[in-house]
Each structure stands twice: as C-alpha cells, then as structure tokens.
Amino acid sequence: MFDPAQAPLGVFDSGVGGLTVLAALKRQLPQEDFIYFGDTARVPYGRKPLEMVRDFALEISQELISRGVKGIVVACNTASAASLPELADKLPVPVWGVVEPGVEVALRMPGQGRIGVLGTEGTLKARAYESHLEAAGREVWSKACPLFVPIVEEGISDSQIARLVAEHYLSERPELQTVILGCTHYPALKGMLQELLGPKVQLVDSAEATAAVVAADLKNLGLVSNEPKTAASIHHLVSGDVTSYLHTAKILGGPLGSVERIYLGQAGRQRDTVSG
Ligand code: DGL
C-alpha cells in the first residue's frame, strides 16, 4: 500500500544556493530521500519581477509534485518572498520557506541592536525580512547584493573578486549587531563576511533553522520516513549546464547523488540522466 511518509522531499532554488539548505536537511533527516531542483538556466531570480519568480516557483513545484514528493522546501529567499503563502494555498503538499525561520533565529539572538539584512533585490523589494523584524520593534538596515549570486554560481566565493565586491556592499553599513544572510547563496561567503564585519557581529544563516522546522512538522504530520535504508537517495534536477552545476556543487560541499538535466517552460521538456 502507498505510504506517503516514504516519498521523497522536494527542495528547490534558482541554482546551487539551496544546496546549503539541502545539506542541513540531510543532517537533520538522514533517512529521507530528496529531489533537489536547481533552476540554473534561469538564475538569478533576484533581479526578475516577483510575478515571474512566482510562476517559476509554481512550475517547479508542479514538476516536483509530478515526481511524488511529500512536501516542498522553497530553499530560496527570493522565491519564498515572491510565492509564499500562495504556493502553500495552491499545492496539495506542505510547503516551507526560509524567511521566517531566519527571522526567528535573528530575534532570538541576545541584544536589541540593529539587524542587517543582505539579500537579493526581489527579497528586499518584497520587504520579506523588514516587515517581520520591524513588527518586532527592531531597527533594520538592508542591502541588495546582486553580484554575490553569480560569484557563488561561478564557484569563486573564495577569491579576491568576491572580497572586493563584499567590501563594496558593506562600505556604508551602520553599526550592526546581527546580519541575516537573506539569500541561500550567501552562506558560501560566510567566512569572508564574518571577517569583514568583525567577530562581534552575529551572522544568521537560516538553513539549520529551516531544517529544524521541516523535521518537526514532518514528525507532527506523521510523514517521517521509517523505511530502513543504507543510503538515502538525492536526485538533482538541473535546468542549465550539468557540468558547471556539478563543479560548483562540489566546491560548496553539497551532497551529490544522481543528476538529471531538465528543461521547463517554453523549450518543452527533455530529460537526460547522468550520475554525479
Ligand atoms: N538563492 C536565492 C535566494 O535565496 C536566489 C538568488 C538569485 O537567484 O538571485 O534568494
């Protein structure tokens, strides 16, 4: 008999950034199978109109549902800001975003100082973080960092170029107590950002917090897989070039598995499976 608890979990992002969330999910839910969708053909989402990102999010979610996922983790701040809660209303499975878990971690940090939010233009335009943080009475400084995403996708997070770009984005910051990495690509730059911001600034990466929320909800919904497995599977769906995806995924230390190239949208659909 079909048991939905044994189905895989769907996870998606515009590119490799969501692998930081997938890694946290894998740590907290080692027995689960995952299908990860990296929309590398259409990355970046951050500068695209929010309605367009909402359509991408719906299209990807429908693809994941057609593959039998039991829930979907929107491992992208821009897509979370653009498409939640509409996505949750439309889809027949539970949906989780990354913004609220990040906000909760930031608000739990000791102190009442100003909170910085680094994110994409779309996430900032939607005021996804600001609205929650200001409602909690906190002062917020936010900065769009559009060049971070291509730098991470290119696999050059640990370079002089990345450092110069980060210095530029942070040059006019006021005093900050906490900085939220409001894009799932940015944890790849965490070490360097911490160095530039100084040891007193607390950095928030929502990956572990999101994974904890997903793990708790799956348990409450009776959807935790209890099938004994020697190795749970991860299947990657990639809309762009597979070789460069694998290259960057390896640099990020993202968990690899099988990789399939997939074309969504007007180009029609073709599939091509390779192992990673
Ligand atoms: N990693 C995504 C986010 O968290 C998307 C970045 C982009 O594609 O611009 O916002």
Whether residue 85 is found in the same domain as residue 13: yes
Which residues, 6 or more positions from 263, have their beta carbon under 8 angstroms from its beta carbon?
A: 41, 239, 269, 270
The residue out of 163, 184, 206 marking a domain boundary is: 206
Q: Whole-angstrom Cα distance, residue 141 to residue 21?
A: 24
Q: Which domain range does residue 150 map to?
A: 99-206
Whether residue 217 is found in the same domain as residue 148: no
Backbone angles phi, psi at 180, to 5 degrees: -90, 130
Whether residue 167 is found in the same domain as residue 263: no
What single letter denotes the amino acid at residue 269? R
How many CB atoms neighbour CB 145 within 10 A?
25
Whether residue 84 is found in the same domain as residue 213: yes
- pLDDT tier for residue 3 given thresholds of 50, 70 and 90: confident
Q: Of 19, 76, 181, 237, which one is the catalytic site residue?
A: 76
Whether residue 147 is found in the same domain as residue 85: no
Assess whether pLDDT exceeds 60 at residue 271.
no
Indicate if 145 belongs to the active site: no
Whether residue 122 is found in the same domain as residue 160: yes
Whether residue 193 is found in the same domain as residue 116: yes
Whether residue 90 is found in the same domain as residue 182: no
Q: What is the pLDDT of residues 62-96, one digit of tens each?
A: 999 999 999 999 999 999 999 999 999 999 999 99
Indicate if 183 belongs to the active site: yes
- Residue 183 CA: nearest ligand 1 atom is 4
Distance between Cα 47 and ligand 1 center (Å) = 9
The residue out of 206, 240, 256 marking a domain boundary is: 206
Whether residue 78 is found in the same domain as residue 154: no
Ligand 1 pocket, residues with Cβ under 6 angstroms: 13-15, 17, 43-46, 76-78, 120, 123, 149, 183-185
pLDDT the model gives residue 52:
96
Distance between Cα 151 and ligand 1 center (Å) = 12
Within the chain, strands assigned E span: 9-13, 34-38, 72-74, 95-96, 115-119, 140-144, 178-182, 202-204, 234-238, 258-262, 271-275
Q: Is the peptide bond before 228 cis (omega within 30 degrees of 0)?
A: no
Distance between Cα 222 and ligand 1 center (Å) = 31
Q: Of 183, 207, 211, 238, which one is the catalytic site residue?
A: 183
- Residue 44 CA: nearest ligand 1 atom is 8
More confident residue, 1 or 169: 169
Whether residue 91 is found in the same domain as residue 135: no
- Residue 119 CA: nearest ligand 1 atom is 10
Distance between Cα 227 and ligand 1 center (Å) = 33
- pLDDT tier for residue 253 given thresholds of 50, 70 and 90: confident
pTM of the model: 0.93
Which residues, 6 or more positions from 14, have their beta carbon under 8 angstroms from its beta carbon?
A: 38, 39, 40, 42, 43, 44, 45, 46, 56, 76, 78, 79, 149
Total domains present in the chain: 2
The residue out of 152, 180, 206 marking a domain boundary is: 206
Q: What is the pLDDT of residues 193-231, one digit of tens each?
A: 999 999 999 999 999 999 999 999 999 999 999 876 667
Mean pLDDT over all residues of the chain?
A: 92
Distance between Cα 48 and ligand 1 center (Å) = 11
- Residue 78 CA: nearest ligand 1 atom is 10
pLDDT the model gives residue 272:
54
> Which CATH number does the domain housing residue 244 bear?
3.40.50.1860
Q: Whole-angstrom Cα distance, residue 252 to residue 13?
A: 15
pLDDT the model gives residue 250:
87
Whether residue 28 is found in the same domain as residue 48: yes
Whether the Cβ atoms of residue 203 and residue 104 lie closer than 8 Å to each other: no
Whether residue 117 is found in the same domain as residue 176: yes
Edge-to-edge, what's the strand order for the sheet holding 271-275?
Answer: 95-96, 72-74, 9-13, 34-38, 234-238, 258-262, 271-275
